[in-house]
Structure formats: C-alpha cells, structure tokens
C-alpha cells in the first residue's frame, strides 16, 4: 500500500535530478576536477545521449548518475531518492530494483551461461520465476538457441545482446549505457542499438546513454554535450522540453 503511493508520487517527479554536481579526485600532487557544476533533469521515459570527447568526463558522470559513486559536491536524485543520502547498501538495493546497465565491455560473468547471466539480477532482486523471464528475454534478443553457451563461446555482438537482455531483465525504471556499441563493428553496433532502442520503447524505460556513435545519439530524444567536465545542452531540446 505504502509502496503504491510512493510509486505514484514518484511518477510525477523527474526520474533523475542533478544539481551543482562537482567531482574531484585527489592525485598524488594536486586535485583534479573531472566534473564541474553539472545541473540536469531527466524525465521518466526520456532517452538521453551524452556525447563528448574522450576524457571529457562522460563515464564519471554516468557512474555518479547511477549511484555507483558519490560526488564530491552537489546532489543526485534518482527516482526520488537523494543518492548521497543513502548508504552504499541502500544504493545497491535501489539499483537492484530500479536500475539497469549496459557496458562497453559487456561485463558478463565468464563462468555463467547466457541464461544464468540474465537470471542473476532477477535472483538478486528477488523476482519470481527468473528462468522463465530470462528465457523470454533471450528469445527476444535473438539468442533463444544459445542459452547454455558461456560468454567465451559468443561473439562480441552476441555478448552485448545477452548484456542487454540482462539489463532489461529486472524491468528497470532507468537504464544506463556506457558506449554500448563501442566495442562492436558498425553493422553489429547498428543491430545492437536497434535492439536497445526497441526494448527501451517497449518497456518505457528511461535511457541515459554515453556514446561516440552520432547516429545512435541522434536516435535519442535529447543530446547533452560534455566538455572538460562541463555539461551543456544544445538549446533547442532544452527549450522544447520546457
């Protein structure tokens, strides 16, 4: 009952709200500022691409948005929860229920089969009948025949499909992707991004994606630019959203 009202209340608020986000790391001699005063709001169901040069701070930003790390300054509010106010474990629980990930280097567990890799987050989130859902998802990404294969027996593109199936498995509210096609050739990358966009639309997930691939970025509802740790938004999108 309580949770229901919570969810409904959450529905009205933005999926992600970032204010005054600054991130610094201490190096041997001095401190390096990686992100500087980032403000950002992403609504439910939106798809957002973050583009920028290598070393500009994209991955760092993504990690902070997803609550994998905590910022030096500023706030990140993910699905109604202030991230830096949560303990590491609470953030983990939040991720288990609400967040999915797709990585450039796939990050499948080599010891587990494709099916088991997809089942893993379902089990961690305590979702019923994990195997059925995992099978369906692998079917959906076109790997129904490869359930028992381990990552080493799969090509890069196939591995990324497994990773996508895994990301959508626990029916996340928001999906973070860090250069999901970065390790793939053009054609394969194309089909993987098709899959990602399709599933995203089908499930109504909020998507935050870092990419170099301009075509993929263009398929997102909104593009953000980052340069030397400063986030800028091409005016049009912002204004229209307003």
Ligand X SMILES: Nc1ncnc2c1ncn2[C@@H]1O[C@H](COP(=O)(O)OP(=O)(O)OP(=O)(O)O)[C@@H](O)[C@H]1O
CB of 91 to other proteins, least distance (A): 8
Nearer to other proteins, 36 or 59 (CB): 59
Nearer to ligand X, 23 or 133 (CB): 23
Residue 10 contacts which entry, other proteins, Mg ion, ligand X, none (Cβ below 5-8 A, type-dependent)? none
Identify the helix (H) or strand (E) that includes residue 58.
Answer: helix 58-65
d(CA 100, CA 15): 14
Nearer to Mg ion, 61 or 207 (CB): 61
Nearer to Mg ion, 59 or 75 (CB): 59
d(CA 138, CA 156): 15
Q: Which residues bind Mg ion (CB under 5 A)?
A: 59
CB of 119 to other proteins, least distance (A): 4
Q: Which residues bind other proteins (CB under 8 A)?
A: 59-60, 62-63, 66, 68-69, 88-89, 92-97, 99, 101, 103, 107, 109, 111-112, 116-117, 119-121, 123-125, 130-131, 152, 170, 178
CB of 52 to ligand X, least distance (A): 6
Q: Which of 39, 38, 24 is nearest to 72 (CA)?
A: 24
Checking phi first, is residue 28 left (phi over 0); if not, alpha (psi -120 to 50) or beta?
alpha
**Is residue 177 within 8 Å of 208, Cβ to Cβ?**
yes
CB of 235 to ligand X, least distance (A): 23
Residue 235 contacts which entry, Mg ion, other proteins, ligand X, none (Cβ below 5-8 A, type-dependent)? none
Residue 119 contacts which entry, other proteins, Mg ion, ligand X, none (Cβ below 5-8 A, type-dependent)? other proteins
Q: Give the DSSP letter string of 3-51.
A: HHHHHHHHHHS-SEEEEEEEEEEE-SSSEEEEEEEEEEEE-TT-EEEEE
Q: Where are the beta strands (DSSP E) in 47-192?
A: 47-52, 73-78, 81-82, 99-102, 174-178
């Amino acid at each position: 009952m309580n949770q229901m009202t919570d969810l409904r209340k959450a529905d009205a608020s933005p999926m992600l709200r970032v204010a005054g986000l600054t991130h610094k790391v201490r190096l041997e001699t001095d401190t390096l500022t990686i992100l500087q005063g980032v403000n950002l709001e992403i609504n439910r169901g939106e798809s957002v691409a973050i583009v920028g040069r290598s070393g500009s701070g994209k991955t760092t930003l993504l990690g902070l948005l997803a609550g994998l790390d905590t910022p030096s300054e500023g706030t990140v509010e993910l699905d109604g929860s202030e991230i830096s106010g949560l303990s590491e474990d609470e953030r983990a629980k939040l991720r288990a229920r609400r967040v999915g990930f797709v990585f450039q280097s796939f990050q499948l567990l080599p010891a587990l089969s494709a099916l088991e890799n997809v089942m893993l987050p379902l089990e961690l989130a305590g979702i019923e009948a994990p195997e059925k859902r995992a099978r369906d998802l692998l079917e959906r990404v076109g790997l129904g025949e490869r359930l028992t294969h381990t990552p080493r027996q799969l090509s890069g593109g196939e591995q990324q499909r497994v990773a996508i199936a895994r990301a959508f498995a626990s029916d996340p509210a928001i999906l973070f992707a860090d250069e999901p096609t970065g390790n793939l050739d053009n054609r394969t990358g194309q089909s993987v991004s098709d899959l990602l966009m399709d599933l995203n639309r089908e499930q109504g997930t909020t998507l935050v994606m870092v990419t170099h691939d301009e075509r993929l970025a263009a398929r997102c509802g909104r593009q953000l630019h980052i340069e030397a740790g400063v986030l800028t938004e091409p005016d049009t999108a912002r204004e229209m959203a307003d």
